Structure 1
Amino acid sequence: MDSETLLARITDYANRPNPYPLYAELREAGPVVRQADGSYLVGGYHELALLLHDPRMSVDPRIRGEVTHKPPFLRLDDPEHHRLRTLAMRPFGPPHSPGRIDGMRGEIERITKELLEPFEAGRQVDVVDDFAYPLPVTVICRLLGVPREDEPLFRGWSDALVAAADVRPDTDTTETDKAGDQARTEMGGYLLNLAEQRRGNPGDDMLSAFVNEPDPALRLTQEELAETAILLLIAGHETTVNLITNGVLTLLRQPEQLDHLRREPELLPRAVEELLRYEPPVHMRQRIPREDIDIAGTPIARGTSVFLVLASGNRDPRRFDEPDRFDPTRPDNEHLGFCSGIHYCFGAPLARLEAHAALGALLPHLGSARLVEDPPPYRQNAMLRGPRHLLIDM
């Protein structure tokens, strides 16, 4: 059956520019579709929302014996997840307070202004390399306390880790996994060394806060500190790069909506939420049932891979009116762009702040901009989907 090849077709690079017809096929075949490799896809909004809040659905690969080391909290279940997430969030500031993130607003706006210098009429720029990548990388490195001259180190490490985390059915992943493990070791070693330099000599950064925590009950172990810092660095920029780049691409493809936002920039916060629905930076997440379960009438055995196709749920006509239309004024927009449940993206406030600053600053410059290539070349990763380059003529 064609439906059994959906995962292979979704992850096929040839379909990276436009996977949405495949998501529509998934919803029509669903709500739960078995794949040829024995895994399952879920693409309906309501089913996804339930599963994201179902404690029987695990993110921990140790359930299947895939890894022996302790994963970062992104891939842990409660109570381990709750403990590490809480400790990682402490340096951001107390819940429901402005905290460190909102305090970065001025710095983000200053970095954005610097990066806009190449965006002049008559020039060609790459939105990814010249703007969407350096903005969040600079911000998360400042938050963690990574010296500016060391920021270039992280691109290679991050690319290797993201490649290792991708979905690659029917592919030999030995070399990719090996490269990911090496990158994790090197990045973790670098960050631990940097943190040790701050022990007893703290600065105003997160590594200093982690390593100088006075309460023994709230301290991270060396392994936890390394994994948490790696996660913060990668999660702190990978998705935001895609969010900004997908936003620029969407607006340049829809000049009437671009003009609308240029006339009414106060709509930008709602436009960012619509981008998170319409062209989300994260397209799917993997879950593993910790026991035999039934999903929408389909029995699924413990330990089976279940792929939650969040980007499909965001285009589900059972949940959203005219789901394939980009509408910055959409009033009812409870999207899955930042996931949901206990694994709701803890970096969502920072990503929103960066996207608002970036797109708000770019809007005045995009009126006469034109895409050099459409579709642009995309990154390999199917889970974290976005253009690798986005060339525009100003």
Structure 2
Amino acid sequence: MTEQDILRRILDPASRPNPYPLYEELRKTPVHHMEGGPYAISHYHDILGLLHDPRISSDARNLASTAGDPLAGEEEDSTTLPPSFLKLDPPEHDRLRRMTNRPFGPPHSPHRVEEMRGDLDGIFKELVDGVTDPGNFDLVEQVSYPFPVTVICRLLGVPKEDEPRFHVWADTLAASLDPDPDATPEEKAKVGQDARMELGMYLAGLIEERRKNPGPDMLSQLAVGHGKDETMTTMELLSTAALLLIAGHETTVNLITNGMLTLLRHPEVLRDLRKNPDLAVPLVEELLRYEPPVQLLPQRTTLTEIEVQGVTIPKGASMWLMLAAGNRDPARFENPESFDPYRKDIEHLGLGSGIHSCFGAPLARLEAQLALAELARRLEKPRLMEDPPPYRQNAVLRGPRHLRIACDGIRP
């Protein structure tokens, strides 16, 4: 088995239901180099160190070459939107992230997420109430997919009647992140660029309206800004809003869906959660370790020659940080293949770390905690209709496309 083979097997949609044996195999060689392509890092401590290493860039423009890299061509085209702060380095990254955080979290808006708890609870309960056939329903389509897209739309201030359009854009943009070795760079780029263009045109109109008539929503606060040095350009704001759509939606969909799938495979934990809703807090942390919605961080770039586990990685090389492999590293976690929400030490990589740690982490955590506790309470004797369920093709943002569940009823 060659190194190239193992990486391509991980990317293969056929591996999506259970990629973890492949990650175990990958860890046998801590630094895998696809010939002419990326270096894959799979051990926990190596990944954690690199997430904090200033010699590692998130800006794809620093790549010396894209030849042989399955993610070549994924960077945003300048004819649509500029790179989001997720794909920038300091100081540009820090400036944009700081401005985006002002209306979202501490120190300027320390209670923003917690104040949304009541709204989140109401939105989710309404979705569960809308399940008309408890004996056979799709959790993804009816509950876990519409929940976070509704939340992010409300947060940004998107009119309710326009929310369905965001479902399509979110799905397309998430799929465009998938490292597909069989598609040409041009094909992959065009799909994402078209969706970004449509989303950008819509948001441009909404931003102009909010600048004239600002409201309490996050998009209004970003559009108005706070002085010359704390105001985004229209293009920066468009790129940031598109990022929030992905960060605030796709990862949370997968976290909730993976979470319910895991609970149905571990009925004893589901029973514990039903009896003790507070278990949702550590349970979500264990889910972020055991079934992380973001499996890998591709297309990191070395700004200088560095050494990892005795392997010299040249300047300008593409690096993939395999978060899901690190989360099950036996050198870091005891019984890493076991799902244990009572685990005492859950310092996972599921939300990243360092300056690029997940921006929407507080909201994603709260959404998943509320959702899983509510499902455990209300679904009577739930069971899977299909296991494994069908998965999305995306290897980066991994989760079921559908999760069909049957239960005896839904409690009020």
> What is the TM-score when the length of structure 1 is the normalising length?
0.96
Q: SS in structure 2 opposite 1:100?
A: coil
2:85 corresponds to 1:73? yes
CA shift in 2, pair 1:32/1:330, >3 Å: same
Amino acid at match of 1:35: M
CA distance in 1, matches of 2:38, 2:199: 32
What residue in structure 2 maps to residue 6 of structure 1? 6
What residue in structure 2 maps to residue 139 of structure 1? 151
> 2:170–2:249: 8 Å Cα contact kept in structure 1?
no
> 1:118–1:125: 8 Å Cα contact kept in structure 2?
no
**Superposition map of 1:275-294 within 5 A:** 275-286=287-298, 287-294=300-307
**Superposition map of 1:241-252 within 5 A:** 241-252=253-264
What residue in structure 2 maps to residue 99 of structure 1? 111
Larger CA deviation: 1-10 vs 381-390: 1-10
> 1:119–1:365: 8 Å Cα contact kept in structure 2?
no
Q: Deviations over 1:165-216 (max 9, x none)?
A: 2112353242231121111111112111101011131111111112222412
CA distance in 2, matches of 1:184, 1:79: 25
Amino acid at match of 2:158: V
2:73 corresponds to 1:61? no
Amino acid at match of 2:301: I
Q: SS in structure 2 opposite 1:199?
A: helix
Amino acid at match of 2:59: D
What residue in structure 1 maps to residue 15 of structure 2? 15
CA distance in 2, matches of 1:275, 1:353: 13
> 2:38–2:317: 8 Å Cα contact kept in structure 1?
yes
CA shift in 2, pair 1:176/1:112, >3 Å: same
CA distance in 2, matches of 1:63, 1:92: 30
2:385 corresponds to 1:372? yes
Amino acid at match of 2:55: R
Q: Deviations over 1:285-304 (max 9, x none)?
A: 02110112211211111222
Larger CA deviation: 276-285 vs 303-312: 303-312
CA distance in 2, matches of 1:122, 1:62: 50
Q: Deviations over 1:131-161 (max 9, x none)?
A: 1111111111001010111011122222222
Amino acid at match of 1:49: L
2:197 is matched with which residue: 182, 185, 195?
Answer: 185
Amino acid at match of 1:383: V
Larger CA deviation: 166-175 vs 72-81: 166-175
Larger CA deviation: 246-255 vs 182-191: 182-191
Offset, 1:36: 3.2
What residue in structure 2 maps to residue 319 of structure 1? 332
Offset, 1:119: 4.7
CA distance in 2, matches of 1:173, 1:213: 36
2:281 corresponds to 1:269? yes
2:311 is matched with which residue: 280, 298, 308?
Answer: 298
Q: Deviations over 1:86-116 (max 9, x none)?
A: 0011111433864221111100001011011
CA distance in 1, matches of 2:389, 2:376: 20
**Superposition map of 1:1-394 within 5 A:** 1-28=1-28, 30-64=29-63, 69=78, 70-95=82-107, 98-119=110-131, 122-286=134-298, 287-394=300-407
Q: SS in structure 2 opposite 1:116?
A: helix
CA distance in 2, matches of 1:312, 1:147: 40
CA distance in 2, matches of 1:112, 1:9: 37
Q: Deviations over 1:352-385 (max 9, x none)?
A: 1101110111112344111111100000100000
CA distance in 2, matches of 1:320, 1:96: 36
Amino acid at match of 1:19: P
Offset, 1:39: 1.5
CA shift in 2, pair 1:201/1:236, >3 Å: same
> What is the TM-score when the length of structure 2 is the normalising length?
0.92
CA distance in 2, matches of 1:139, 1:165: 22
Q: SS in structure 2 opposite 1:152?
A: helix
Amino acid at match of 2:319: V
CA distance in 2, matches of 1:131, 1:22: 31
Q: SS in structure 2 opposite 1:92?
A: coil
Q: SS in structure 2 opposite 1:4?
A: helix
CA distance in 2, matches of 1:356, 1:34: 38
> 1:126–1:389: 8 Å Cα contact kept in structure 2?
yes
CA distance in 2, matches of 1:97, 1:290: 35
CA distance in 2, matches of 1:15, 1:155: 26
Amino acid at match of 2:169: W
Amino acid at match of 1:317: P
CA distance in 1, matches of 2:6, 2:394: 16
Q: SS in structure 1 opposite 2:365?
A: helix
Structure 1 residue ranges without an equivalent (≥5): none
Offset, 1:64: 2.9
Q: SS in structure 1 opposite 2:129?
A: coil
CA shift in 2, pair 1:360/1:197, >3 Å: same
Q: SS in structure 2 opposite 1:306?
A: strand
> 1:160–1:176: 8 Å Cα contact kept in structure 2?
no
Offset, 1:120: 7.0
> 2:63–2:318: 8 Å Cα contact kept in structure 1?
no
> 1:41–1:308: 8 Å Cα contact kept in structure 2?
yes
Offset, 1:250: 0.2
> 2:306–2:315: 8 Å Cα contact kept in structure 1?
yes
